[in-house]
Amino acid sequence: MAPARALWCAMALVLTACNAEVNNKFSAVPRHICAGERVKLQWNVVGSASVTVTPPNAELPDGPVESAGHATIAPTTKTLVALHVRRMLGHPKTISQEIEVTTPSGKPEVLMASMADVNARPGCGGGKAWATVHAERFAPDVKVATVAAGDSRIYEVEHAALHATVAPGAMTTAFAGTTIAGDWILTVPLGSGQTCATIPHNLVVDVIAQCVRKANDSR
């Protein structure tokens, strides 16, 4: 092989390796909180890392960070944390985590389960279809205020060992005070002419959240 071609091939191999997919990790737990609750950020990336936080947060200033590290912040408003990663000869990459903060006038939380998602433990039979929402992103202080149907169907809802029927255009306080986090089992009847194969796959309820803390919680 000619020297020039050998050099070009070597450079191509280097560039391919540098741009190969890397399993960078960045997490925020929990991702939905009440104002002032603590959120743990953890990352492990390949390359030089830096962060930007919008709006700025004194607990995690914008700028360079270690490629593997962690931080804790307590946002009081919706916050976006962006982790920027650069590698020699590789493409820069940004991984973001958005932290939602519950407010009294906040929009409903949409809890949706898909009949097509095996992790939702879907089922259909006896004139009904059901699936489970695994609500994992909420902090313990984010509680349920009301629950409403997310579409025009009647829902049977099970959560926190409680059960309620939710009709379209109505809302229930049956789950008030329970944590949003956890499993929500949503069941709907098959409509006229529908079968298990033709029923809309998405089951949806809307939850209005509230922040309820213990009396001795000084956060």
Nearest Cα residue to 143 out of 106, 191, 196, 170: 106
Domain with CATH 2.60.40.10 in the chain: 24-102
Rounded distance between C-alpha atoms, residue 124 and residue 190, angstroms: 9
Please give the Cα distance from 205 to 149 (Å, whole number). Answer: 5
- Domain 24-102, what fold? Immunoglobulin-like (2.60.40)
Q: What is the pLDDT of residues 68-104, one digit of tens each?
A: 999 999 999 999 999 999 987 778 899 999 999 987 7
Q: What per-residue confidence (pLDDT) applies to 143?
A: 95
pTM: 0.76
14: pLDDT strictly greater than 50? no
